Amino acid sequence: MDGKGKASMNDRNNRPDVPDPTAPGGRIDFEEVRKVIALLEEKNLSAFELETEGFKIKISRNVPAPAAPPAAAAAAPLAAVPSSLGEAAGALAAVEADKSLHMITSPMVGTFYRAPDPTAPPFADIGDPVKKGQTLCIVEAMKLMNEIESDVDGTVVEVFPENGKPVEFGQKLFAIRPAS
């Protein structure tokens, strides 16, 4: 303050109770998030993080790795894996390679839940028959619970993510053998 009781511009900037009008203030709309995501895709970036006073946003995406030569990719990895892990990886690879299976993928980034609450049984388990439109799981995104439904009749062959773990857009959630 100057000697006359008036606040100068510098006083306002030094006072913690006067918000900076240029700061985001913890507010961001969906359109701004979409612009950041578009920028990530355009520049082929895998992650973006911004933190200011009272506001933090972190966005990441899966960027496809460059393809390895087929001979090198097939020969090396399984030889170094212990047998129990190797068998599990082989079974998973067989499920993913089976072209007759229908894959249900995540329509968004979020947290995967197999049941409506921790004490409830899963919506669908391996071996369960499912109908088109039946809820298979929930993907929580921004505190919204999004039910993911089957788009085919069939039998659940594999559940890929672990319960309570994050999933990415396009990540495989379920493999379903379509009904004949």
Residue 132 maps to a domain: yes
Average pLDDT over residues 127-141: 95
Same domain, 117 and 54: no
Establish if 124 belongs to a structural domain.
yes
In a domain, 78, yes or no: no
173, 106: one domain? yes
Q: Are residues 163 and 115 in the same domain?
A: yes
30 burial level (CB within 10 Å; 0-12, 13-18, 19+): exposed
Higher pLDDT, 2 or 171: 171
Checking if the pLDDT of 18 tops 60, the result is no
Is residue 4 in a domain?
Answer: no
19-28, 45-54, 140-149: which range is least confident on average? 19-28
Any domain includes 67: no
117 DSSP 8-state letter: S
| Domain coverage including residue 29 | 9-60
Strand partners for 166: 111
What pLDDT is recorded for position 44? Answer: 73
**CATH (domain of 158):** 2.40.50.100
How far, CA to CA in Å, does 93 sit from each of 86, 98, 110, 126, 175? Answer: 10, 9, 24, 16, 12
Please tell me whether residues 104 and 158 are part of one structural domain: yes
The reply to whether 50 falls in a domain is yes
pLDDT bucket at 59, cuts 50 / 70 / 90: confident
Q: Which of 115, 104, 87, 111 is nearest to 160 (CA)?
A: 104
Residue 101 falls inside a structural domain: yes
Domain assignment present for residue 92? The answer is no
- Domain count of the fold of the chain: 2
